[in-house]
Amino acid sequence: MAEEKESWKWQLTHRITTADELSKLINLTPEEKADIAENLGFFRMAITPYYASLMDKDDPLCPIRMQMIPSAAERVRGEFDLDDPLGEIKYNPAPNVVRRYPDRALLLVTMQCSAYCRHCTRRRVVGSTDCTITKEELRQALAYIERTPEIRDVLISGGDPFILETGALEEIIAAVRAIKHVEIIRIGTRVPVMLPMRIDRELTDMIRKYHPVWVNTHFNHPKELTPEAIRACEELADAGIPVGNQTVLLKGINDDAEILKKLFLGLVKARVRPYYLFQCDLSVGISHFRTPVEKGIEIMHSLTSSISGYAVPKYAIDLPAGGGKVTLGYNYVVSKEEKELVLENYLGKLYRYPAR
Ligand SMILES: *Cc1c(COP(=O)(O)O)cnc(C)c1O
């Protein structure tokens, strides 16, 4: 039994999808029970037994619970919510391809994930049952990348590409790698966090044949840095795969400098480089997770230089309507004159510095 639970396929087939199943593991509040029942038709719930085991049994504000259990707030349409917050429908030159920058393209290969985050930015399409890219869609997507020599960097994402069988994923990676002008392949996945047993030798041995391949994962809270998750990240790193992380700033979950400091330092120890800290997107039904932008900047200010630059990601907003990402930070330039700048250091002390 113990061994069975360590198999990723067992974890997927035994995902928790109802309030009844979940209440065998944790003490659900009456509100949580009602919210699950009401939201299931809206955006699906599915939680791997592994990830559910990290939940606090009694605390509904547990950061793992809040990322996985539907809440009534998801039925609120916030003032600024957008159905397609990132303009992905408009910037869609071929099936399953999103291209917003000249030299990079996103290739969405499945709409399935190992577990479904309540804060999902693609919640309008993710989790639908007909989900994996068809051979014909893949052929058209690859033909587009092939005839677009500016694209040097292909991000394979979804959904979660690591949900695919290794052989099916290899077909996609090999086909992308066969395009001469593609220099870098990146894979976006939350599997190390929610299904770490999926990261096995079979997978890493396959990936390393197609280097350079980078993997970007998605840890949001230090509670997620379990021995299993750390092992998954280290196994990727051991296969020569640089691993990055993107965190979404989420109200009540991680909008706190001390929590994020612990997370980012823990990631660096696992050889994962914190890459982006994202402002929560404007997808419909997640406005309750959004934090003021000022708060994000304040958190960045308290992290910068108080810990190593390796542990500090860039704070980014993914602009609506396909505007791309913009990074924000505290302004350390106090004044700027023709010959001299006044700069503030991380402790608030002022320094003069020649402007030229
Ligand atoms: C985020 C993103 C990229 C990659 O941007 P980087 O800053 O290079 O990580 C590329 N294409 C799209 C559509 C994106 O959303």
- Taking the C-alpha atoms of residue 339 and residue 353, their distance in angstroms, rounded to an integer, is 9
Report the nearest-CA residue for atom 4 of ligand 1.
104
Report the nearest-CA residue for atom 15 of ligand 1.
324
Per-residue pLDDT of the chain (356 residues; tens, 9 = 90+): 567 788 999 999 999 999 999 999 999 999 999 999 888 778 899 999 999 999 999 999 999 999 999 999 998 888 888 888 877 777 789 999 999 999 999 999 999 999 999 999 988 888 776 578 999 999 999 999 999 999 999 999 999 999 999 999 999 999 999 999 999 999 999 999 999 999 999 999 999 999 999 999 999 999 999 999 999 999 999 999 999 999 999 999 999 999 999 999 999 999 999 999 999 999 999 999 999 999 999 999 999 989 999 999 999 999 988 889 999 999 999 999 999 999 999 999 999 999 98
- Most informative mutation of 86, 100, 319 for ligand 1 (most atoms within 8 A of CB): 100
166-197: pLDDT as tens digits = 999 999 999 999 999 999 999 999 999 999 99
Query: What is the reported pLDDT for 130?
Result: 56
Query: What is the reported pLDDT for 266?
Result: 98
Query: What is the reported pLDDT for 215?
Result: 98
- Taking the C-alpha atoms of residue 194 and residue 116, their distance in angstroms, rounded to an integer, is 10
Q: Which atom of ligand 1 is nearest to the CA of 105?
A: 11
What is the whole-number distance in angstroms between the Cα of residue 159 and the centre of ligand 1?
15
For 216-226, give one letter per residue: b (16+ CB within 10 A) or e.
bbbbbbbbbbb
- Taking the C-alpha atoms of residue 7 and residue 198, their distance in angstroms, rounded to an integer, is 8
- Taking the C-alpha atoms of residue 166 and residue 213, their distance in angstroms, rounded to an integer, is 15
Q: At a CB cut-off of 8 Å and minimum separation 6, what does 190 contact?
A: 113, 114, 115, 117, 160, 217, 218
Instruction: Give catalytic residue positions.
Output: 100-101, 104, 113, 117, 120, 122, 281, 318, 325
Report the nearest-CA residue for atom 7 of ligand 1.
325
What is the whole-number distance in angstroms between the Cα of residue 100 and the centre of ligand 1?
8
Query: What is the reported pLDDT for 2?
Result: 62
Residue with tokens 């800290």: 277
What is the whole-number distance in angstroms between the Cα of residue 179 and the centre of ligand 1?
19
Query: What is the reported pLDDT for 129?
Result: 61
What is the whole-number distance in angstroms between the Cα of residue 104 and the centre of ligand 1?
7
Q: What percent of the chain has pLDDT over 90?
A: 86
- Most informative mutation of 90, 103, 152, 155 for ligand 1 (most atoms within 8 A of CB): 155
286-310: pLDDT as tens digits = 999 999 999 999 999 999 989 999 9
Q: Which residues have any ligand 1 atom within 6 Å of their CB?
A: 98, 100-101, 104, 106, 155, 325
The amino acid sitting at 280 is: C
Query: What is the reported pLDDT for 181?
Result: 98
For 326-336, give one letter per residue: b (16+ CB within 10 A) or e.
eebeeebeeee
Query: What is the reported pLDDT for 127?
Result: 77
